[in-house]
Structure 1
Amino acid sequence: MKAVRKILLWLLIILAVLIGFVLIKTFTYSFKKIPVNQAEAVNISRDDSAIYRFSGGLKIPTVSTGELGDFDYTSFDAFKRYLRNNYPLVYQQTENYEVNGYGLVFKWKGTNPALKPILFLSHMDVVPPGDAPVKNKEEQIFRLQDKAVPAVTAVAKEWDYPPFSGAVANGRIYGRGALDMKGMLFSLMESMTRLIKEGYAPKRDIYLAFGFDEEVGGRKGAVKIAEDFKKKGLEFDAVYDEGGVILEKGSIGGIDTDVALIGCAEKGFLSARIKVKGLGGHSSMPPLESAIGKAAILMQRLEDNQMKPVITPLIQEFFNNVGGTMSFTTRLAIANKWLLKKALLSQLTKNNSTNALVRTTTALTMMKGSDGTNVLSPEVSFVVNFRLLPGNTVKEVKEHIANATKGFDVEVEEIDNTREASAVSQTSTKAYQMIEAGIQKVFPGVLTTPYLTVGGTDAYKYQIVSKNIYRFIPFKINSAEQQSIHSTNEYISIGNYEKMIYYFKYIMQNYDN
């Protein structure tokens, strides 16, 4: 009995030491601190003419639809003319040319040819507006006076103004493409115009490159522009594109501050159509196992047995940065990953947004069987979409599909744009530090962190000409406004647009200062 008490005592001592070590580790862990507001945000003067030019660009319906950009280019011709007419200084002071008919490239020559150039990306195409109803059907609306507008808390079911009206009202600029991506395109043109007017001469070459089919894969736009750069022997010190944004406090579950998400990588992509064979015929005499029943088993397998979650170095850095604003239990798990890794991953995979950061996701998106209620189809197909985590490969995903379908008569066909996950850009570069400096200029006190972009961007195509690729648009929105991208009632606030112009002007002007 005495020996048992002694063992129990030692176990309690070990447990106490372990708890003490875990607590010390948690309280001393080097989570990133929220920047102290040492200065007020810069005072950005309003430029109504810039807002008017942007509004006019939103009125041109540069919609990209169809396979590989096979769509009507009439609007794109009008858009090119619009840019040339409204930004004459950029056209006069840069070397500019077109790639594949509609891709636009501008080169602003620097004074030191020994320095590697920097590149800013955007795209002129937008997704279709959908068929949601319109509340105010006036086509021409331009009211610059600000009004108090309640914060958006849910995705709108209708457009406040027509999607191609370019309406300016209530302190907002409405239209398809306001956030994705004409806001960035026009703010880049405005920034360069202002610097030219001020007589600024960059030390290194500054490039702008605008694709025209990003929403359908970018094969005719960004791919061709990147190949053109490669042929010219260009290597960029930095490439800046869309991706992350500044999300307001409360937009990300568990993070108790505004946070700027800087995309340093993006996930890969594989969509597979799986055709499942079975017995067809009349539903009055069904087989014991139908093709659709077999397909259901396979779909359940794919959802239940997904690829293993993992905390990559990029996501570890993300948690090191934002963890200090999270709950004590989450901080404890992050700080003691050596002990609580399984528990941390279990918690992360229970949430849609964090699950996408730690694993290759599985999404069942389409299914087709019989066209009749009383007909058994001899073949049922479904589509599963995987978004590949950096570190996972297309080969591994194919093996995963093969294991899930083992024992069934199936055909597997890859569809859409299969691609590996992107390379991961480092945060120790000047290019990344300039983003942080620009953010603190226009949004002082915002916490910045590297992040994994879960959607696809044109930036991926430019890996052949740069190792430093960052995906970030400098506007601050809440989660409902973020969901308006590709959805109903897309708009950008006038304040956000003005800050975007200042931010890009700051990067261009200060990259070598």
Structure 2
Amino acid sequence: MGKRRNVLCGGLAVVAVVAGTVAVRTASFAPTDIADGTDIRLAAAPPYDLSAAVANLSAAAQIRTISHQDPADDEVVEWDRLHAWLAATYPDTHRAMTRTILPNRTLIYHWQGSDASLAPIIVMAHQDVVPVTEGTERDWKYPPFAGTIAEQAVWGRGTVDDKGSLVGLFEALEALAGQGFQPKRGIYLVSGHDEEVGGSGAAAAAAKLKAEGVRALFTLDEGSVELRDTPVINGPAILIGVAEKGYATLKVTANAPGGHSSMPPAETGVTTLARAVLAITESPFPMEMRGPGAAMVESLATHKGGTTKMAVANQWLFAPLLKRQLGASPSSAAAFHTTIAPTMLEGSPKENVLPQSATALINYRIAPWNRSADVMAAAKAAVGDAPVEFSWVKPPNEPSRVSSTSSQGWKYVVAAARADAPDAVVAPFLVVGATDGRSMAPISEDVYRFMPMHFSLKETAMIHGTNEHMTIDSFKRMIDFYARLIATSAG
């Protein structure tokens, strides 16, 4: 009886210690090194004609700067049309800023600052748009390249990604130039011509600026938005991308003798390849609570409070539960591990011929704590001694470095974003896709990815999809945001 009592007392003591530790850690928990920007004196956005700005976005959406996977299919005259339209539509901007058109049609604008000792800023928005999937045109409420203004929005391919940002930037710059704004800090606007198919234009622009000795305080590009129904808090959050995942496509090849399908061997090239692909996908990278994804969850959980905050503050105890919950949705799981996605398969050119070579392409989006070498090593380990070969389709893009959440650049972006959303939670964010902004990392202290559009999770599906449209409310917020940010950081 005494032993049972001692065991029971010991167990209760352990529970008490655990409960006490959980309570203390929960009460004292707060995200570290995430500045709120409240110490920034924010400049006001200058007046402008919103109706004219909306008409300008409509006009830009009608210019078909469509990037195809094969550049030979691009109608380069459309980029020339866009450049001429920008010059005619924004005369004050073109008087204040010098314009360089690279041979590939990427644009670099420069507004020289009065104080050469101050590092400049770089703002970005790309010119190109993705094609409309053949056969889906009839599914659009309004023609995808008509720039229709209806239902308090501008409808069309590229209105969100990324001509909304491009036109919004020019509207902000035109308003500032028109009122006589003179920047102390230099301003660069870089607009890539091919972001949707790799971003070689932005890379060329970055190389040119580096050769000229440019070192920016920060770069701002697309990549994230303000969500109205953010998971965890079910409310508004300003999600600012501080990093983006790497990108790599692995080619897996199974060679075989080939022959006639009427006399197949026990193992064909196709079956060898299939086993290899399954082995790779069935050996996923583990979920890890680290990096920008973890910082985002910590920020949201602190605001949410209750058991959510308790779980995040005590990952030593609740990490398995958190990982299960975050891993339940592909969209949330992507922020916490390197993803593996087989996308293309190729074998025989004829149904009754055994291929001599069967190939698969597997696309990886690499988490900030991994590198392409880790991907290759994991794939080889997964297949073991299977007779397959590995190669990269093209040199991988490694994950970007993680930008600061306490620097001056961060504070400028946060302050400008919160002006229209003072009650929204500010949180860092990991961009799981790719942006042109990554090319600016060598010439910029920090790179941020954010557009001040107010979206629901459901509405984000229209990006690259059917019925893409920019609401007039979001467009106005964008112009005001860019004007405030530029005037505050460069003024």
User: Scaled by the length of structure 1, what TM-score is found?
Assistant: 0.89
Cα displacement (A) at 1:286: 3.0
Name 2:217's counterpart in structure 1: 237
Task: After TM superposition, list the pairs within 5 Å mapping 1:398-413 onto structure 2.
Answer: 398-413=376-391
Q: Tell me if structure 1 keeps the 8 A contact 2:48–2:175.
A: no
Q: Tell me if structure 2 keeps the 8 A contact 1:439–1:446.
A: no
Name 1:202's counterpart in structure 2: 183
Name 2:482's counterpart in structure 1: 504
Name 1:315's counterpart in structure 2: 293
Cα displacement (A) at 1:31: 6.0
Name 1:80's counterpart in structure 2: 83
SS in 2 for 1:177: coil
Q: Tell me if structure 1 keeps the 8 A contact 2:291–2:368.
A: no
* Residue identity in the other structure for 1:350: A
Q: CA distance change for structure 1 residues 205 and 289 in 2, over 3 Å: closer, same or farther? A: same
Cα displacement (A) at 1:371: 4.1
Whether 1:174 and 2:152 are equivalent positions in the alignment is no
Whether 1:26 and 2:26 are equivalent positions in the alignment is yes
SS in 2 for 1:21: helix
Name 1:355's counterpart in structure 2: 333
Cα displacement (A) at 1:428: 0.7
Aligned length: 483
* Residue identity in the other structure for 1:19: A
Aligned mates of 1:429, 1:406 — CA distance in 2: 46
Cα displacement (A) at 1:53: 1.4
Q: CA distance change for structure 1 residues 342 and 132 in 2, over 3 Å: closer, same or farther? A: same
Name 1:297's counterpart in structure 2: 275
Aligned mates of 2:430, 2:484 — CA distance in 1: 25
Aligned mates of 1:465, 1:283 — CA distance in 2: 56
Name 2:197's counterpart in structure 1: 216
Cα displacement (A) at 1:28: 4.2
Of 40, 47, 65, the match for 1:62: 65
Name 2:146's counterpart in structure 1: 165
Aligned mates of 2:450, 2:251 — CA distance in 1: 33
Question: Which stretch shows the higher mean deviation, 61-70 or 330-339?
Answer: 61-70
Structure 1 runs not aligned, ≥5 long: 36-40, 136-157
Structure 2 runs not aligned, ≥5 long: 37-43
Q: Tell me if structure 2 keeps the 8 A contact 1:279–1:287.
A: no
Q: CA distance change for structure 1 residues 119 and 369 in 2, over 3 Å: closer, same or farther? A: same
SS in 2 for 1:244: coil
Cα displacement (A) at 1:300: 1.9
Cα displacement (A) at 1:44: 8.0
Name 2:131's counterpart in structure 1: 128
Whether 1:47 and 2:50 are equivalent positions in the alignment is yes
SS in 2 for 1:183: helix
Q: Tell me if structure 1 keeps the 8 A contact 2:260–2:354.
A: yes
Of 445, 458, 477, the match for 1:467: 445
* Residue identity in the other structure for 2:250: A
Name 1:337's counterpart in structure 2: 315
Name 1:152's counterpart in structure 2: none
* Residue identity in the other structure for 1:410: V
Aligned mates of 2:306, 2:273 — CA distance in 1: 44
Q: Tell me if structure 2 keeps the 8 A contact 1:264–1:451.
A: yes
Q: CA distance change for structure 1 residues 368 and 328 in 2, over 3 Å: closer, same or farther? A: farther
Whether 1:423 and 2:404 are equivalent positions in the alignment is no
Aligned mates of 1:69, 1:253 — CA distance in 2: 42
Q: CA distance change for structure 1 residues 257 and 29 in 2, over 3 Å: closer, same or farther? A: same
SS in 1 for 2:125: strand
State the Cα deviation string for residues 287-331 of structure 1 (Å, max 9, x = none): 323322222222222222112222224333212211135585543
Aligned mates of 1:292, 1:328 — CA distance in 2: 53
SS in 2 for 1:398: helix
Q: Tell me if structure 2 keeps the 8 A contact 1:31–1:322.
A: no
Cα displacement (A) at 1:279: 5.2
Q: CA distance change for structure 1 residues 128 and 258 in 2, over 3 Å: closer, same or farther? A: same
Aligned mates of 1:69, 1:463 — CA distance in 2: 30
Name 1:382's counterpart in structure 2: 360
* Residue identity in the other structure for 2:167: F
Question: Which stretch shows the higher mean deviation, 229-238 or 291-300?
Answer: 291-300
Aligned mates of 1:353, 1:442 — CA distance in 2: 27
* Residue identity in the other structure for 2:381: N
SS in 1 for 2:377: helix
* Residue identity in the other structure for 1:126: V
Of 220, 236, 246, the match for 1:268: 246
Aligned mates of 1:103, 1:507 — CA distance in 2: 23
State the Cα deviation string for residues 428-457 of structure 1 (Å, max 9, x = none): 111111111112212221111111111000
* Residue identity in the other structure for 2:468: E
Aligned mates of 1:417, 1:475 — CA distance in 2: 33
Q: Tell me if structure 1 keeps the 8 A contact 2:368–2:400.
A: yes
SS in 2 for 1:365: strand
Name 2:12's counterpart in structure 1: 12
Aligned mates of 1:69, 1:362 — CA distance in 2: 30
SS in 1 for 2:340: strand
Cα displacement (A) at 1:91: 1.0
Aligned mates of 2:305, 2:466 — CA distance in 1: 34
Name 1:193's counterpart in structure 2: 174
- Identity across matched positions, percent: 31
* Residue identity in the other structure for 2:18: L
Cα displacement (A) at 1:67: 4.1
Aligned mates of 2:299, 2:262 — CA distance in 1: 61
Question: Which stretch shows the higher mean deviation, 66-75 or 48-57?
Answer: 66-75
Aligned mates of 2:48, 2:248 — CA distance in 1: 46
Aligned mates of 1:113, 1:42 — CA distance in 2: 25
Aligned mates of 2:273, 2:309 — CA distance in 1: 42
Q: Tell me if structure 1 keeps the 8 A contact 2:29–2:302.
A: no
Task: After TM superposition, list the pairs within 5 Å mapping 1:449-460 onto structure 2.
Answer: 449-460=427-438
State the Cα deviation string for residues 177-232 of structure 1 (Å, max 9, x = none): 1001111111111101101111111111111111101111111x111111110010
